[in-house]
Chains A and B, each alone.
Chain A
Amino acid sequence: MSRMNIIEAIRSALASEMERDERVVVLGLDVGALGGVFRASDGLLGRFGPGRVIDTPLAEAAIIGSSIGLAVSGLVPVAEIQFLGFTHQAFHQIGAQLARFRYRSRGRFPLQVTVRAPMGGGTRTPEFHPDAIEAQFVQSPGLKIAMPATPVDAKGMLLAAIRDPDPVLFIEPERLYRADRMEVPDDDYVVDFGAARIVRSGTDVTVIAWSAAVEVCERACELLTARGISVELIDLRTLVPLDVETVTASVQKTGRAVVVHEATLTAGFGAEVAALIQHECFFSLDAPVERVASYDTPYPPAAFELAWLPFPQRVAAAVRKTVEV
């Protein structure tokens, strides 16, 4: 075991998987000499050489598109897009091409491709850098979406992603990259997809979140404990595949649900979770399902950022609303 933060856990996963499987290559902007703008691939170029750690020209569509070809040729590409917001420039290669390749080729060409990208706000970054657009990719069947919130999950889920025979969009919580360290196993392990994590058990309300919003909810839980409200907090970990059982079992127990995400409210993935809960847990619900999300505006200037994003007091207020109805 070693104490690692999320970026160290990611680096550990990349290094160990590249060691274990010589087909794995890392490609993207500034991933080589610089080691990545967040240092996720720091040291990999020195260890594995420019044949396996590749600085590409500035072209997101080409990075993803060529990853498709690299995979067909027998390599296992792990492509980095510097910020999830820049996948806009590669969207047609992700949604229309990467996600559908197995289907279009009737199984002839499955693609073992991982696309890594950080997202999330709260750090006063320039435009597009914080965009939380994970829901837009959910509508591309054939693409898995993994969003770890802790160092242990980051390493285990990235190892699972790289080994997955299907394409995975691996979205990392940028704001938490260098947050608290935790004990992470040094040896090989994977965190399977489709298994949500119960962050804390409770009896009064189920709160569901993913990525950096999990940390916001943990702080909200502390506020709520002081008021005697017992929250069961679930970290979904993966949007596709989605662990429906854990969510529904919890809501059947508590009778109340609050979904929290950083993306804008309307048609965010919280809408999907809320619809599922309504359908599967209708007869267990004692209050309407609440959602806490950002306002339906483009990502605002830095001055408004913290008021725009979900913050702990807003989450706590939504939870209290379900209890007091």
Chain B
Amino acid sequence: MVMMAVAMPRLGESVTEGAVERWLKAEGEAVQLDEPLVEVVTDKVTAEIPSPFAGTLAQILVPEGETTRVGEPLAHIEVAADVSDLAPSAGLTVTVDATGGGPAGQDPGVIPDGRGLISPVVRKLAADYGLDLASIPGTGSDGRVTRQDVLALVADRVPREELIPLTAVRRQAAAHLARSATIPHAWAMREVDVTGLVEYRREHKAEFLDQHGIPLTFLPFMIEVVCEALQAHPLMNSSWTDDAIIVKHYVNLGIAIATEETVVVPVIRAADTLSRAELAAALHDLTTRARQNHLRPEDVQGGTFTLNNTGALGGVMGMSIINHPQAGILNTESIRRRPVVRGDAVEIRHMMNVTLSFDHRILDGLHAGRFLNSVQQKLEHWEG
């Protein structure tokens, strides 16, 4: 016994598929040759298909109401093994092969020495660059000089374009930035006198290193200040949705860290509840793991606000892009000694710019200003 397939026939010139309207035989039923087997419907023709084989309808592959493409099997019929070969003509036995060919008009014939063949573009390029054709190495068929060969030779003379393929990381970053681009950004800046902070750190950093085994950078101070400011101005710690503004009463602070490939923003969870030492430790851990590419997905999720220490690379002002779906991102620029007016005198002070990008749908200049003022106040009146 042999299993033969009944295929969906082509019922019209452009018809590519058809639907089974009704099976006239059931599975397990005997079928005669040419006995009506199934009704199929196309948008041109409805037709009854007679069975091409005598046997038993073993399996219905396409049930009533379903559509299938022309040539696809509708059912299997079990037939006696010596059925004659009446399969639909498959056409010529010309195997469709990789060498292809086909009518090509005049064939140029066998080329004895490829070097002798100079194509129009090669001749032109050589003339343009003042090259002697005989001196150019040819990598084409039979040593022919190709366009690529000429261009390779003049590569160092002319600026060339380079294609950098996109990595998945870069694509993902691009997609995230595209989402950020939907946020209407506004910006504000403050010039902050951090002289007090600088001295405080200078006094305490050795002791801190001894006590905790990790260096004390400016960042933990910034984080503390930002967390306090966020608690005082919770609207800065929120997200826009089309239905409502979600204000978060916890602070998961994202810290932007630059790696070779991209910027990652690992998150210090509940930053507002951590001590300075704990903050320092968390920072150290995240930074190290970020640079080693060992961050886990949960490390970068759930942030409510982001801090970007652009000052580490020497920046004095920048407008960062908000980390969607947060409401703001704060840059701490580099600390520079600058002459500033205090009272009626000019003094040299340690100055640091902070720039804030914020979601203008949620906050306006007033709220952003108040937040920044908080940050500035706390930094400028540093007492520890």
Contacts and interface: CB of A to CB of B under 8 A. Distances in A.
A316 B97 CA distance: 11
A268 B100 CA distance: 20
B102 A292 contact: yes
Given A303-B91, A306-B91, A324-B141, A283 B13 contact: no
Contact of A178 (B17, B101, B102, B140): B17
B89 interface: yes
Nearest to A297: B103
Given A284-B120, A304-B91, A324-B141, A316 B14 contact: no
A296 interface: yes
B10 interface: yes
B121 A318 contact: no
B98 interface: yes
Interface string A157-196: 0000000000000000011011100000000000000000
A325 B105 contact: no
A96 interface: no
B100 A317 contact: yes
Size class of the B contact interface (CB-based, 8 Å): 20 to 34
B121 A285 contact: yes
A178 B97 contact: no
B14 A175 contact: yes
A295 B103 contact: yes
B316 to A, nearest CB: 42
B13 A129 contact: yes
B353 interface: no
B294 interface: no
Residue among B103, B119, B140 with the highest chain A CB neighbour number at 10 A = B103
Contacts of A306: 91-92
A246 B99 CA distance: 30
B244 interface: no
A288 interface: yes
B104 A290 contact: yes
A138 interface: no
Given A283-B121, A303-B91, A174 B16 contact: no
Contacts of A177: 14
A81 to B, nearest CB: 15
Contacts of A47: none
Contact of A283 (B15, B96, B120): B120
B102 A314 contact: yes
B85 interface: no
Residue among B15, B104, B144 with the highest chain A CB neighbour number at 10 A = B104
26 contacts: A39-B43, A39-B44, A123-B13, A123-B14, A124-B10, A125-B13, A129-B13, A178-B43, A179-B16, A265-B103, A283-B121, A283-B124, A284-B124, A285-B119, A287-B119, A291-B105, A293-B102, A294-B103, A302-B89, A303-B91, A306-B92, A307-B94, A313-B100, A315-B100, A317-B98, A317-B101
Please provide the 10 A-B residue pairs with the shortest distance between their CB atoms, ordered closest to farther: A317-B100, A177-B14, A314-B100, A286-B147, A283-B124, A307-B94, A265-B103, A307-B92, A314-B102, A283-B120
